[in-house]
A = this chain, B = another copy of it.
Amino acid sequence: MPQDWTALASGKKASQQAAIPKEWLLFNPPSLDTQDLTEFPDTCGLLTEEDIQITTSDTETLLSKLASGEWSSLKVTTAFYKRAIIAQQLTNCLTEIFVERALARAVELDDYLKNNGKPVGPLHGLPISLKDQINVKGIESCMGYVSWIGRKADNNAVLVDILESAGAVPFVKTNIPQTLMWPETFNHVFGRTCNPHNRSLTSGGSSGGEGALVALRGSPVGVGSDIGGSIRIPSAFCGTYGLRPSYGRVPYAGCVNSMEGQDSVPSVLGPLSNDVAGIKHFMKAVIDAKPWLKDPLAVRKRWNEEEYNLIDHGYGKNLCFAILWDDGDTVPHPPILRGLETVKKALEVAGHHVIDWKPLKHIEIYETLRDIWGAGAEEDYNAVAILSGEPVISTMIPEEQSALSASEWFRPTEGASAYQLWQVQKKKRDLRQEYLRYWEETAAITGTGRPVDAIISPVAPYAAPPHGMNKSANYTMVWNLLDYAALVIPVSKVDETIDAPKPRKEFYNDADKTHWESYNPETYKNAPVAVQVIGRTLEEEAVIAMSELVDKALKSSKGI
């Protein structure tokens, strides 16, 4: 039997804490009854006026001031690093902290700009945070598994090489759940990440560290991964923008992962940011670097400016959006429905047409996806966990954290045969075929001559719930099976006066009734409300452009 796993975990946590420069430790942390942490960084006194100006700038401003040298990368990276460390002390969002190395890299970039009179690339000088599983040479990626503590990466992930060539500064790694297969963020090594808008709520997962960090403006652009919603759920719960790209649009090679070899519905990497511009600059820089020459699974499709100009969508004039109000299984809580209403009105004011999207076989899609993952998941988790003796986590509820009962939201089916897996994968293919045909057939009802341009959907049937209570990823998973590009846009926040509980008489099922009646605005106080803008497979360019339209319409409706 190996060394006691709890001792290994505490040792790792202690060395993480030791990596924080003393002068960045908070002397005045908010009291435990302060739930909303979002104002704290600007007021705690650790950040200078300039630090605050930098970290609250939009992405266009950051990139242009970095490229011109008006702001050095050292200055920008230092400001974001300080803020990231504040975020860590508030929400426990980080895993790896490597200040000296990141600042040294920033200085190199500043020297390059000074000596060559031009930036290194399109992301010159920009600090970028990385989900723990993304390898950076010489740094650990233990991914919350005790048994992987101490394993330093031999090489950068392909994406890290590309980001560095584009001029970016990888500067922190962020927290995840054990196995990555949870829509919350807790593991035995780094513990739990909480929601910056209300610390009694979950940050979501599995890219929960990124969600909390970016929301607190501790990083201008972060990279998460998404196999069933793991970028979009933290984005929505924490109030950031976040893109789930199609399979293979962003190179994944060189990351650690769980369930490796499961290549039927694979995980994808994608960006989180505080504006759509952050998403766009990240995607364009990565694709322009021809990732297919470094990762065999990256799709050889150049950034298509015509598609970004919406050549397939009437050049962006008079689009037809369709709103998925619910999935036919669980009606979203009042704040989420209000968010969809807000988007609908804003789009109509902006001259677009909005119709309803009726779900097609969503419940079958959920079950099919669970069967694909479940076919080998348990054997996969145990193979790693057993090495240290740590238990495989079976619930995200804090007080039941070490219980070993079956997972509530995801059910591994031990011992499925390869042939059985093929049968489920065949079903998946048929569902994708049906859904595509269904979408194409909407050309008959949009009034534009085209099928629906994009679907607007909830990201979850609730705003960020209390820790341990995020028991479904259905509203995001459906688009992973279909491999549609999906971009999360923040819309609003739960408001106790507007978002009062409402009576409803008919329910899809008992769980729907329980879910609806459990709503209480006090529980979700201050939690962000968001939507997803969903387009077709490999249509990232158009989804980004259509999200810009939605975002602009929303801002315009709020008078921003």
Q: Is the CB of B537 within 8 A of A300?
A: yes
Question: Is A376 engaged at the interface, CB distance under 8 Å to the other chain?
Answer: yes
Question: Is A253 engaged at the interface, CB distance under 8 Å to the other chain?
Answer: yes
Chain B: CB-nearest residue to A431: B296
* CA–CA, A419 and B538, complex, Å: 29
Q: Is the CB of A436 within 8 A of B299?
A: no
> Within A401-431, which residues are at the interface with B (CB < 8 Å)?
415-427, 429
Q: Hey, which chain B residues are within 8 Å of A294, CB to CB?
A: 436, 440
* CA–CA, A419 and B537, complex, Å: 27
Question: Is A259 engaged at the interface, CB distance under 8 Å to the other chain?
Answer: yes
Q: Is the CB of B426 within 8 A of A261?
A: yes
Q: Mark A363-387, 1 if CB is under 8 A from B, else 0.
A: 0000000000001100110000000
Chain B: CB-nearest residue to A262: B422
Chain B: CB-nearest residue to A427: B261
* CA–CA, A234 and B68, complex, Å: 60
Q: How far is the CB of A426 from chain B (nearest CB, A)?
A: 3
Q: How far is the CB of A325 from chain B (nearest CB, A)?
A: 24
Q: Is the CB of B421 within 8 A of A261?
A: yes
Assembly stoichiometry (copies): 2
Q: Which of B300, B417, B436 contacts A415 (CB 8 A)?
A: B417
Q: Is the CB of B419 within 8 A of A375?
A: yes
Q: Is the CB of A261 within 8 A of B376?
A: no
Q: How far is the CB of A296 from chain B (nearest CB, A)?
A: 4
Q: Mark A420-464, 1 if CB is under 8 A from B, else 0.
A: 111111110100110110001000000000000000000000000
Question: Is A105 engaged at the interface, CB distance under 8 Å to the other chain?
Answer: no
Which bucket holds chain A's interface residue count? 35 or more
* CA–CA, A423 and B538, complex, Å: 27
Q: Is the CB of B538 within 8 A of A422?
A: no
> Within A248-296, which residues are at the interface with B (CB < 8 Å)?
253, 259-264, 292-296
Q: Is the CB of A419 within 8 A of B536?
A: no
Q: Hey, which chain B residues are within 8 Å of A253, CB to CB?
A: 433
Q: How far is the CB of A536 from chain B (nearest CB, A)?
A: 7
With A376-B418, A376-B419, A418-B375 given, is the CB distance from A300 to B539 under 8 Å? yes
Q: How far is the CB of A403 from chain B (nearest CB, A)?
A: 24
6 contacts between A and B (CB under 8 A): A260-B426, A261-B422, A296-B432, A296-B537, A375-B418, A379-B419
Q: Which of B293, B379, B423, B538 contacts A292 (CB 8 A)?
A: B538
Q: Hey, which chain B residues are within 8 Å of A263, CB to CB?
A: 263-264, 425, 429
* CA–CA, A253 and B302, complex, Å: 25
Chain B: CB-nearest residue to A302: B304
Q: Hey, which chain B residues are within 8 Å of A420, CB to CB?
A: 418
Q: Which of B264, B415, B416, B433 contacts A296 (CB 8 A)?
A: B433
Q: Hey, which chain B residues are within 8 Å of A417, CB to CB?
A: 376, 379, 415-418
Max chain B Cβ within 10 angstroms of own Cβ: one of A293, A302, A419: A419
* CA–CA, A483 and B539, complex, Å: 22
Q: Which of B302, B422, B536 contacts A376 (CB 8 A)?
A: B422
With A417-B417, A436-B294 given, is the CB distance from A424 to B261 under 8 Å? yes
Q: Is the CB of B423 within 8 A of A297?
A: no
Question: Is A337 engaged at the interface, CB distance under 8 Å to the other chain?
Answer: no
Closest 9 A/B residue pairs (Cβ): A261-B422, A261-B426, A376-B419, A375-B418, A300-B538, A296-B432, A261-B425, A379-B419, A418-B421
Q: Is the CB of B536 within 8 A of A292?
A: yes
Q: Hey, which chain B residues are within 8 Å of A427, CB to CB?
A: 261
* CA–CA, A253 and B262, complex, Å: 22
